[in-house]
Amino acid sequence: MATAAKTIYAHRDIFVVDDDPAVRDALGVVLSMEGFSVTGFADGASFLATARSQVPACVILDVHMPGRSGLDILKELNAHHYPAPIFIISGQGDIPMAVDAIKHGALDFIEKPFDADTVVSRVREAIDLSARRAAAPTTPILRQSFPGAELLTPREREVLGQIAGGASNKEAGRHLGISPRTIEVHRARIMEKLGAKNAADLVRIVLTEIRASA
């Protein structure tokens, strides 16, 4: 089991984990030009050793790594509860693996070849959102008990809160700082866990319990 990381936010530090030095260099240049401090890691072991004692503002992790894969690293880091947002870098053919990464705690994925402006924008949004949550944690209606609540991850509870509030995938993604496609991944996962047949059934499961406890 992964050792819990200390919550020490270095809000300008970004960890880039990729065995390809060209990718590390490219992201390092792009993000450094925007005022971030970038630390590169060529393998999962060196990243994990640092990430368990120092929490950066954001992590960008390649899904394909020598030795431990990106998925292995997410599991060892207990990514669902890691304080910093984690992006997975994936190629066009790695979408199923990227979806698995989201299920294991990654915030979202960035597809190769990546656009520099898009990477910077998404990293900034993720860091800003993380800081806002830390300063003023949200109190969603889902804090109340409902059938299957214990099966959901913190991220899934946030997505469910958006769905219950009537947000579209696009609106929920914008509010949570992730892509609509990733919202859809979470929605499908939530429906599976709660045994919902469709979105309306999903909301009914939550709202029925809320009304009953009102």
Fold exhibited by the domain 141-213: Arc Repressor Mutant, subunit A (1.10.10)
What is the dotted CATH code of the domain comprising 9-135?
3.40.50.2300
pTM exceeds 0.75: no
pLDDT in tens, 140-172: 445 456 778 888 888 888 888 888 777 888 888
Per-residue pLDDT of the chain (214 residues; tens, 9 = 90+): 444 444 444 468 999 999 999 999 999 999 999 999 999 999 999 999 999 889 999 999 998 887 888 899 999 999 988 989 999 988 766 777 878 888 888 998 888 888 888 899 989 988 888 777 666 555 444 545 677 888 888 888 888 888 877 788 888 888 888 888 889 899 888 889 888 887 777 777 776 554 444 4
pLDDT in tens, 100-113: 888 888 998 888 88
Q: Identify which of 99, 101, 107 has the alpha carbon closest to the alpha carbon of residue 73.
A: 101
Identical fold between 9-135 and 141-213: no
Domain ranges of the chain: 9-135, 141-213
